[in-house]
């Protein structure tokens, strides 16, 4: 083996590493066998280069079978459906006996035929011609009669330094910050859970509201801080444990990837965006870090757009599968705020796009994303204000109105119910409460209209019959008053107020006739 073959070996290594961005899988101790990989390459995802004097073809046959088996092992380790291997022998001369049947033609692994390998010989006669045909490219080599040791060493160092630089540059992407906020958020959500448990239980709606859970009603009444506080609250110990575990793994990864300040912005913005999506698409009270955690997924997806090759080589498919499973689980199970999850995913992607990665800039993309996000948030806020009635659940609306009524703030109660009331969807409880406030504010015609709607929707709503009777009595319409009072009494025969009302109507009617 002369210096020429050794030089060719390292020249090929340097060519594939430096110009085609292959990565070193393994270099033997003797430094005469090199395995490279580049999963994005369609023609040859794995290349094996061997520096060896091929004397007899039977040795080469055994080596080809062994190399093909190694290729199959690599395919399984990488979970690839198929794998193409290029096997290159660098030798002074080809085997002395017949060998052509094993060279130049793809060979399939017998188990499943998922690994395919093409073997080539690079010798002094053919040089790199066969390789150039397979890779559809030119391997630049300055041919000499003799190569010196320093020629080989220079080519070798160029290949190894280039490979090391790639490894270090990729490693540096994942080391942009020592995690701090991840641990802080974990501590905060555990402390908040303990405080809620001591205050009455984290599953108690009143406790959740007290501590800042997402409530459409209170948000639309001006408590916009509730779009952030749910990030740190959890409903039940299982909810806390699952989100804490997810935050620990995802948070650490994203914080190392984007750095502390960027991670803080991504996490809070994603949580906010998840709460905003939940406000628009779910009327239920909700809490949890799920939206912010999905935002971490969104940030990783953005990383995938910036470094698609590295993303899919390291974690891409795993991330996509986990997101798909979580979203499918959310759609198939009741009680899961999938709107918050999807909103958080979008928010994390947008936030990551705004801040980008450390020490890098995409000024146009960052500014465009910021402006688009601001416009989107403004539009969603406007929509929420214009559609209050659709975004608030009936129970929350009734609770708020009852509070206004107890404080005798009838104008506030009436203004709120007018926004909430919808002729097509309003329930009897909302309409009845609206009529009650209209009576208190001397809007008798509107009250009568709403009470008639109530009894047409629910013929057993005795309170509506009673109030209608009172209105007609106030108008001295004794026949109508008596009719509705009797309807109320028929539904509630033991109600003393209804009996007394009928007696009063009879007395007033008699007095009117006598006069």
What pLDDT shows up at residue 160? 93
* 119, 275, 290, 469: the active-site residue: 290
Q: What is the pLDDT of residue 510?
A: 82
- Listed residues 335, 366, 390: the one ending a domain: 390
Contact (Cβ atoms closer than 8 angstroms) between residue 38 and residue 22: yes
Residues 41 and 114 in one domain: yes
Residues 113 and 126 in one domain: yes
379/401 same-domain check: no
- On whether both 211 and 96 belong to a single domain, the answer is no
Q: Which residues fall within 8 angstroms of residue 116, CB to CB, at 6 or more apart?
A: 82, 83, 84, 85, 106, 107, 108, 109
For residue range 449-480, what is the model confidence (pLDDT) as tens digits? Answer: 999 999 999 999 999 999 999 998 888 888 89
The answer to whether residues 168 and 195 belong to one domain is no
Mean pLDDT of 438-447: 89
219 and 315 assigned to the same domain:
yes
In angstroms, what CA-CA distances link 275 with 9, 270, 331, 391?
Answer: 59, 9, 17, 13
290 in catalytic set: yes
For residue range 338-388, what is the model confidence (pLDDT) as tens digits?
Answer: 899 999 999 999 999 999 999 888 899 999 999 999 999 999 999 988 887
- pLDDT, one tens digit per residue, over 288-311 is 999 999 999 999 999 999 988 888
pLDDT of residue 99: 78
DSSP, residue by residue, 152-167: HHHHHHHHHHHHHHHH
At 98-141, the pLDDT tens digits run 877 788 888 898 887 789 999 988 887 776 676 777 666 677 76
Residues with Cβ within 8 Å of residue 497, at least 6 apart in sequence: 466
- The two tokens of residue 399 are 């609770």
Shared domain check, 209 and 141: no
Q: pLDDT at position 174, please? A: 84
Residue range 306-342, pLDDT digits in tens: 988 888 888 888 898 889 888 888 777 777 888 999 9
Does the annotation mark 286 as catalytic?
Answer: no
Average pLDDT over residues 488-495: 90
User: Quick check: pTM over 0.85?
Assistant: no
pLDDT surpassing 90 at residue 89: yes
pLDDT digits (tens, 9 = 90+) for 246-260: 999 999 999 999 999
pLDDT on residue 515: 62
For residue 285, give every residue at least 6 positions away whose Cβ sits within 8 Å of its Cβ, in sequence order, or none. 205, 208, 209, 213, 214, 215, 396
CATH number at residue 484: 1.25.40.10
What phi and psi values does residue 429 have, to the nearest 5 degrees? -65, -45
Last residue of a domain, one of 153, 173, 193: 173
Mean pLDDT of 245-274: 95
Identify the band that residue 165 occupies on the pLDDT scale cut at 50, 70 and 90: very high
How many Å is the maximal CA-CA distance in the chain?
138
Q: Is 35 helix (H, G, I), strand (E, B) or coil?
A: strand
Domain count, the chain: 3
**Predicted local distance difference test score (pLDDT) of residue 1:** 55
With residue 129 as reference, give the H or E element that holds it.
helix 129-135
pLDDT surpassing 60 at residue 393: yes
Tally Cβ neighbours within 10 Å of residue 337: 25
Q: What is the mean pLDDT of the chain?
A: 88
- Whether residues 210 and 105 share a domain: the answer is no
Of 1 and 303, the one with more pLDDT: 303
Catalytic member of 109, 234, 341, 450 = 341
Burial 298-320 (b: 16+ CB within 10 A, else e): bbbbbbbebeeebbbbbebeebb
> Are 385 and 413 found together in one domain?
no
Residues 379 and 444 occupy one common structural domain: no
* 3-state SS assignment for residue 108: strand
Helix (H) or strand (E) holding 278: helix 260-281
Q: Residue 282's domain is classified under what CATH number?
A: 1.20.1540.10
Tokens of 255: 């914080």
Tokens in use for 294? 């999905």
pLDDT digits (tens, 9 = 90+) for 423-437: 555 688 888 988 889
Pair (142, 9) in one structural domain = yes
To which H or E segment does residue 26 belong?
strand 23-27
Last residue of a domain, one of 373, 390, 407: 390
Alpha helix positions (H), 15-56:
none
What percent of the chain has pLDDT above 70?
A: 95
Q: Which residues contact 329 (CB under 8 A, 6 or more apart)?
A: 336
Residues 106 and 232 in one domain: no
Residue 146 clears pLDDT 80, i.e. is over it: no
**Owning domain of residue 303:** 181-390
């Amino acid at each position: 083996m002369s210096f020429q073959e050794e030089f060719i070996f390292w020249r090929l290594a340097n060519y594939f590493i430096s110009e085609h961005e292959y990565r070193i899988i393994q270099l033997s101790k003797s430094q005469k066998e090199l395995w490279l990989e580049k999963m994005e390459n369609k023609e040859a995802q794995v290349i094996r280069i061997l520096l060896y004097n091929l004397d007899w073809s039977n040795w080469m046959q055994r080596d080809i079978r062994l190399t093909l088996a190694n290729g199959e092992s690599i395919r399984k380790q990488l979970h690839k459906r198929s794998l193409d291997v290029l096997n290159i022998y660098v030798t002074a001369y080809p085997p002395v006996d017949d060998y052509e049947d094993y060279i130049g033609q793809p060979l399939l692994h017998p188990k499943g035929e998922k690994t395919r390998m093409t073997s080539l010989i690079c010798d002094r006669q053919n040089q790199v011609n066969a390789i150039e045909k397979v890779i559809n490219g030119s391997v630049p080599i300055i041919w000499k009669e003799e190569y010196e040791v320093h020629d080989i060493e220079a080519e070798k160092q160029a290949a190894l330094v280039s490979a090391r630089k790639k490894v270090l540059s990729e490693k540096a992407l994942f080391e942009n910050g020592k995690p701090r906020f991840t641990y802080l958020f974990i501590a905060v959500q555990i402390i908040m859970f303990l405080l809620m448990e001591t205050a009455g239980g984290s599953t108690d709606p009143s406790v959740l509201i007290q501590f800042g859970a997402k409530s459409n009603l209170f948000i639309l009444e001006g408590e916009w801080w509730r779009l952030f506080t749910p990030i740190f609250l959890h409903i039940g110990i299982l909810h806390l444990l699952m989100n804490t575990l997810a935050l620990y793994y995802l948070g650490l990864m994203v914080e190392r990837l984007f750095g502390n300040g960027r991670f803080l912005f991504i996490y809070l913005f994603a949580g906010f965006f998840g709460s905003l999506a939940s406000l628009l698409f779910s009327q239920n009270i909700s809490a949890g870090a799920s939206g912010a955690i999905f935002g971490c997924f969104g940030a990783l997806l953005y990383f995938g757009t910036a470094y698609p090759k590295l993303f899919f080589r390291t974690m891409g498919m795993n991330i996509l599968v986990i997101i798909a499973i979580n979203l499918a689980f959310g759609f198939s199970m009741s009680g899961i705020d999938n709107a918050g999850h999807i909103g958080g995913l979008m928010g994390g992607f947008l936030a990551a796009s705004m801040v980008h990665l450390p020490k890098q800039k995409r000024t146009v993309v960052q500014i465009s994303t910021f402006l688009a996000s601001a416009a989107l948030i403004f539009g969603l806020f406007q929509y929420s204000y214009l559609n209050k009635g659709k975004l608030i659940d009936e129970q929350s609306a009734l609770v708020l109105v009852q509070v206004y009524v107890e404080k005798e703030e009838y104008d506030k109660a009436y203004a709120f119910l007018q926004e909430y009331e919808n002729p097509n969807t309003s329930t009897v409880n909302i309409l009845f409460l609206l009529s009650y406030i209209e009576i208190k504010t001397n809007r008798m015609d509107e009250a009568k209209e709403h009470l008639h709607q109530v009894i047409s929707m629910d013929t057993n709503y005795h309170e509506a019959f009673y109030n209608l009777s009172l209105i007609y009595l106030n108008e001295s319409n004794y026949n109508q008053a008596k009719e509705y009072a009797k309807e109320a009494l028929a539904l509630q025969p033991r109600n003393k107020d209804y009996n007394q009302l009928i007696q009063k109507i009879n007395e007033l009617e008699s007095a009117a006739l006598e006069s």
